[in-house]
Structure 1
Amino acid sequence: MKILVLGSGQLARMMSLAGAPLDLNVTAYDVGTKNIIHPLTGEIYAQDLQASIAEVDVITAEFEHIPHDVLELCCQSGKFYPGKQAIKTGGDRAIEKALLDESNVPCAPYKLITEKSHLIEAVALLGKPLVIKTCQAGYDGKGQWRLKSDDQIEQIWSEMADFIATGTDSLPHTIIAEKMIPFCREVSVIGARDKQGNMAIYPVTENEHTNGVLTLSIASEICEKIQLQGESAFKKLATKMDYVGVLAIEFFDVDGTLMVNEIAPRVHNSGHWTQQGCASSQFENHMRAVCGLPLGSAELLRPSAMINVLGQSSIPTQVLTTPDVLSHWYGKSQKPGRKMGHINISAPTNEALAQKLESLAKVLPEEDYPGILKAATLLRS
């Protein structure tokens, strides 16, 4: 079976690797160069998008911000999963919030902003501090502001107005203000839904962010109440969208109550640990779902963690001397802060995983790999 992935980054790469044992052959569409390429070798094929759409059996995506003409063309083929509405929802926070409200899934109180008076109303309605985000084009902490006092309104509005002005009638740019939630931790749930509505949901994962970028994720034994809330939100949203594929939902844990931060209609960074911690990774289950194959198990086999490699061209060789530690590289050129790869770690118990993280912290400096010792402490709590 042939699959075309919209986007040619590391997620397409890992989908290709997961699909190969299932005899699924993946090509990728680079939306920047408009080339059809091999996601592992980078080989460019002498074929345009329309020809590729006609040739493949299934089309999917590795990211949300797909040009509308490309998305429309793929959807017209009847081969695209998870579907146009799901991709649009993941790429626009205003649509996302409407979906959460319609599905009765809790999120932070919010107000949409297109003019200065809306910002002033948001301050009065929601109070301070506010988290302000672009509804489109924001990721990894970009396109965000924190409003803590009234004397920031003029400067923040000036920057917001510049963003809004770049929109068009057909593609307007909007902004959303959210009440800042005093949360205990950030967690995510990732699951897969197939064409018949069957679901496989992974354990809730605890995530550590630094400057808005995910640096580390841990999957271990989780409170049943938290797991049930995460599963409930997944089932409601996936069913509402008639979703096919892997869907990720990021939450704030507010004293044992989960509130959605955002959703991602794709495989997700916080699920990379599934490559080692489960019988079927998120990448394999996404491929299974969109290709009409039975879903694999999402049960946690052993406590696992993922450490992002950000801006580093290599990792110390000592890392790979630790049992059950594997590295995954993305084949990218080095840039500061860029996601270059990740390290997966697993162990039979929480205590054993904590010990491995402590060992890794001795060779992975805190300034480049923040939060490793903190994660070890959490595993023991």
Structure 2
Amino acid sequence: MKVLIFGAGQLARMMYLAGAPLGIEVSAVDVGARIVVDPVSKMPLSITLDEAMLEADAISVEFEHIPEDLLDQARKTGKLLPGMEAILTGADRVREKRLLERLAVPNCGHRIVDDVAQLDEVVDALGEKLILKASRDGYDGYGQWRLTCREDLPALKQELAGLDLQAVPLVVEQMSLFDREVSLVGIRSKQGELKFYPLAENLHHQGQLHVSIAPAPACSAALTAQAQDIFTRLSEGLGYVGVLAVEFFQVGEQLLVNEIAPRVHNSGHWSMQGADTCQFENHLRAVCGLPLGDTKAAAASAMVNIIGYDKLNLELLKISGCHLHLYGKSVRAKRKMGHINLVGDNYARLGRTMLELADYLPDEHFPHLRTEGQKLQSF
């Protein structure tokens, strides 16, 4: 079977590696140059994009921000999974909020703003502690602004004055006083079968995910059921096929959807060593119409992102339960260079492994590693 992935980054690479044992041939599309490339080497392949779409058994994506005309071309083949609506919704916060409202899915109080003059009214309605997000092309903390007191509103309005909010509106949300951030990665098959990985707890720094712990500690059955119910409503509402990630704010025992990602997701990377079938293989199984794999956690797991850093001491590979995944990228600030998966028999063992790893890595680039390792030892 052949699967064509729009996008040629690390997620396409990991799908390629997951598909090889199943005999699934994965190729990738550099959507900027509009050429088909090898997902690992990034070298152009001797096939046109039109030919690759014709030959593919399924077409999917590794990120949401695909030119709409390309998505429409793929849609017309009848092979695009998940569908165009889901991908466009993941790329546009306004579409996303409208989907959540249509399906009565809890999320943060918000307003859509297409003129800075509306911000005074928004502060009146939602309060003075707000986060403002560009509705498109914002990720990893980019395209976001914060307001913490009304006195700062004039300066914020001046900063935003140069933006074309008619073209790219803002989604303005109440800052949620959440207890933690968690995510649910699940899969829906062509037949509507659903499988769920356990909830993961996510730790961010400067707008980027740094560490995921799965299964999320101190997670009640009721919380898991709530997350799975929301996933079910979203995936069925979109007629979804493939892996879908839903990010939540946890407030007490309530979950508020922060955002959705219609693809394999950074917070599911732990599944490469920590689950029977990883998210990358399960996505390929789903879009190819194959039976879904087991999603149970085989161990307590952590995923540690390597961000803007390439001076790894490879002696860390001596650590039991430590697995390194490098993406072959040149280093730059805030760039995801790879990740490290850790597994342990229980949370205490996982915590000790995280502390072992922290001795090889600088706290400056891995700010949650040591503190989270210490915390896990109490479970």
Match of 2:336 among 339, 364, 381: 339
Check conservation: 1:61, 1:266, Cα contact below 8 A: yes
1:199 to 194, 202, 211: 194
CA shift digits 1:256-284 (9 cap, x unpaired): 21111111000010110000110100101
Measure how far apart 1:363 and its partner are.
Answer: 1.5
Q: Comparing 329-338 with 197-206, which one deviates more in the overlay?
A: 329-338
Question: Could you tell me which residue of structure 2 aligns to residue 96 of structure 1?
Answer: 96
Report the CA distance between 1:116 and its aligned residue.
2.3
Residue of structure 1 aligned with 2:239, choices 237, 242, 254: 242
CA distance in 1, matches of 2:184, 2:284: 18
Aligned residue number for residue 28 of structure 2: 28
Q: Which consecutive unaligned segments of at least 5 residues does structure 2 have?
A: none
Q: Map 1:14-53 to 2 at 5 A.
A: 14-53=14-53
For residues 283-313 of structure 1, the C-alpha deviation after alignment (integer angstroms, 9 at most, x for no partner) is 0110000110010011111100000001122
Give the drift of 1:31: 1.1
Q: CA deviation at 1:41?
A: 1.8
Alignment match, 1:264: 261
Aligned residue identity for 2:104:
N
Alignment partner, residue 210 of structure 1: 205
TM alignment of 1:154-169, pairs within 5 A = 154-164=154-164
Q: Give, in angstroms, the shift of residue 163 of structure 1.
A: 2.7
**1:68-79 equivalences in 2 (<5 Å):** 68-79=68-79
Alignment partner of 1:282 is 2:279: yes
Cα separation, 1, equivalents of 2:12 and 2:314: 27
**Deviation at residue 358 of structure 1 after TM alignment:** 1.2
Whether contact under 8 Å (1:112, 1:118) holds in the other structure is: no
State the AA in 1 paired with 2:151: D
State TM-score, norm by structure 1.
0.96
Q: Is the deviation greater in 73-82 or in 40-49?
A: 40-49
SS of alignment partner, residue 162 of structure 2: helix
1:123-162 residue pairs with structure 2 within 5 A? 123-162=123-162
CA distance 1:58–1:41, shift in 2 (3 Å): same
- Determine if the alignment matches structure 1 residue 361 to structure 2 residue 358: yes
Decide whether the 8 Å contact of 2:213 with 2:301 is kept in 1: yes
Q: Is the 8 A contact 2:62 2:263 kept in 1?
A: yes
Q: Report the equivalent of 1:320.
A: 317
2-structure distance, mates of 1:47, 1:162: 42
Deviation per residue, 1:221-244 (Å, 9 max, x gap): 532122111111111100110100
Q: Does the CA-based 8 Å contact 2:8-2:29 persist in structure 1?
A: yes
Amino acid at match of 1:60: S
Identity among equivalent positions (%) equals 43
Tell me how many residue pairs correspond in the alignment: 376
**Normalization by structure 2: what TM-score?**
0.97
Structure 1 residues 194-220: Cα deviation after superposition (integer angstroms, max 9, x where no partner): 111001100000011000000000003
For residues 124-147 of structure 1, what are the alpha-carbon distances to aligned partners after superposition, in whole Å with 9 as ceiling and x for unaligned? Answer: 000010010001110001000101
Look up the SS of the partner of 1:296 in the other structure: coil
Counterpart amino acid of 1:212? Answer: G
Unpaired segments ≥5 residues, structure 1: none
Q: 1:28-52 CA distances to partner (integer Å, 9 max, x unpaired)? A: 0001222210001222123322121
Q: Offset of 1:162 from its aligned partner? A: 2.5
Kept in 2: contact 1:204–1:226 (CA 8 A): no
Matched letter for residue 156 of structure 1: L
Instruction: Find the counterpart in structure 2 of residue 55 from structure 1.
Output: 55
Deviating above 6 A after TM superposition, structure 1's stretches of 4 or more consecutive aligned residues are: none
Contact 2:352-2:374 at 8 Å conserved across structures: no
- Of residues 147-156 and 211-220 in structure 1, the stretch that sits farther from structure 2 once superposed is 147-156
Partners of 2:130 and 2:174 within 8 A in 1: yes
Q: For residue 179 of structure 2, what is the aligned residue in structure 1? A: 184
Change (3 A) 1:314 1:292: farther
Tell me the secondary structure at the aligned position of residue 285 of structure 1. Answer: helix
CA offset at residue 319 of structure 1?
Answer: 1.3
Alignment correspondent of 2:229: 232
* CA RMSD between the two structures: 1.2
Q: Equivalents in 2 of 1:46, 1:313: separation in Å? A: 32
Q: Distance in 2 between matches of 1:264 and 1:244?
A: 13
Task: Report if the CA contact (8 A) 1:218-1:375 is conserved.
Answer: no
Q: Secondary structure at the match of 1:294?
A: coil
Give the deviation of 1:117 after TM superposition: 2.9
Structure 1 distance, partners of 2:105, 2:374, is 31
Q: Which residue matches 1:5?
A: 5
